[in-house]
A and B are shown apart, each in its own frame.
Chain A
Amino acid sequence: MANSFTCNIVSAEASIFSGSVEQVIASGLMGDLGVLPGHAPLLTELQPGPIRVIYDGGKEDNFFVSGGFMEVQPNVVTILADSAARAADLDEAAAQEARQQALRAFNDKSSELDYTRAAAELAEAVAQLRTIQQLRKKAGKG
Chain B
Amino acid sequence: MAAAKEIRTQIGSIKNTQKITSAMEMVAASKMRKAQDLMKASQPYAKQIRNVVAHIADANPEYKHDYMVERTEVKRVGYIVVSTDRGLCGGLNHNLFKAVLKDAAAWRDQGAELEFCALGSKASSFFNKYGGKLVAAKSGLGEAPTVEDLIGSVKVMLEAYDEGRLDRLIVVHNEFVNTMTQQPVLRQLLPLSPDMGADEQDDENARPGSWDYLYEPDAKALLDNLLVRFVESQVYQAVVENGACEQAARMIAMKSATDNAGDLIDDLEMVYNKARQAAITQEISEIVGGAAAV
In the assembled complex, how far is the CB of residue A81 from the closest CB belonging to chain B, in whole angstroms? Answer: 8
* Residues from chain B with Cβ under 8 Å of A96 in the complex: none
Is B55's CB under 8 angstroms from A73's CB?
yes
Name the distance in Å between B142's Cβ and chain A's nearest Cβ.
Answer: 16
Complex CA gap A42/B42 in Å reads 24
Q: Which of B80-88, B158-166, B222-230, B280-288 is near enough to bind chain A? A: B222-230
Interface centre among A11, A12, A33, A80 (most CB of B within 10 A): A12
Name the B residues within 8 Å of A71 (CB-CB): 52, 55, 213
Interface size on A, residues (CB 8 A): 24
Cross-interface CB contact of A42 among B56, B202, B213, cutoff 8 Å: B213
How many B residues have CB within 8 A of the partner chain?
29
**A2 CB–B CB distance under 8 Å:** no
Assess the B52–A69 pair: CB atoms within 8 A: yes
Q: Which of B48, B204, B216, B226 contacts A75 (CB 8 A)?
A: B204
The answer to whether B49 touches A80, judged by C-beta atoms less than 8 angstroms apart, is yes
Q: Which of A28, A33, A78 contacts B48 (CB 8 A)?
A: A78
* Residues from 215 to 254 in B contacting A, C-beta threshold 8 Å: 215-217, 221-222, 225-226, 229, 233, 236
Is residue A44 within 8 Å, beta carbon to beta carbon, of the partner chain? Answer: yes
Interface presence of A126 (CB below 8 A): no
B59 close to A (CB within 8 Å): yes
Q: Is the CB of B45 within 8 A of A43?
A: no
Determine whether the beta carbon of B214 is less than 8 Å from that of A30: no
* CB within 8 Å: A-B pair count: 76
| Chain A nearest Cβ from B164, distance in angstroms | 26
Q: Does A89 contact B (CB under 8 A)?
A: no
| A28–B218 alpha-carbon span in the complex (Å) | 12
The B interface, classified by DSSP as helix, strand, loop or mixed, is: helix
Residues of A within 8 A of B6 (CB): none
Give Cα A13 to B44, complex, Å.
Answer: 9
Within 8 Å of chain B (Cβ to Cβ): is A95? no
Return the CB mask of B29-60 against A: 1 if under 8 Å, else 0. 00000000000011011001101100110010
CB distance from B55 to the nearest CB of A (A): 7
Closest beta carbon of chain B to A111's beta carbon, Å: 21
List, in ascending order, chain B residues with CB within 8 A of A113's CB: none
Q: By the criterion CB–CB under 8 Å, are A80 and B147 in contact?
A: no
Does B42 lie within 8 Å of A76, measured CB to CB? Answer: no
With A43-B222, A75-B204, A78-B51 already in contact, the answer to whether A10 and B45 are too (CB < 8 A) is yes
Could you say which residues of chain B place their CB within 8 Å of the CB of A69? 52, 222, 225-226, 229
10 closest A-B pairs by beta carbon, nearest first, are A15-B44, A44-B216, A10-B44, A42-B214, A10-B45, A43-B213, A71-B52, A41-B213, A14-B41, A30-B216
Known: A13-B45, A43-B215, A45-B226. 19 other contacts (CB 8 A): A8-B44, A10-B45, A12-B45, A13-B42, A29-B217, A41-B59, A41-B213, A43-B216, A43-B226, A45-B217, A45-B221, A45-B222, A69-B52, A69-B226, A69-B229, A75-B204, A76-B202, A78-B52, A80-B52
A-B contact pairs, 11 of them (CB 8 A): A10-B48, A13-B42, A40-B214, A42-B214, A43-B216, A44-B216, A45-B222, A69-B52, A76-B202, A76-B205, A78-B52
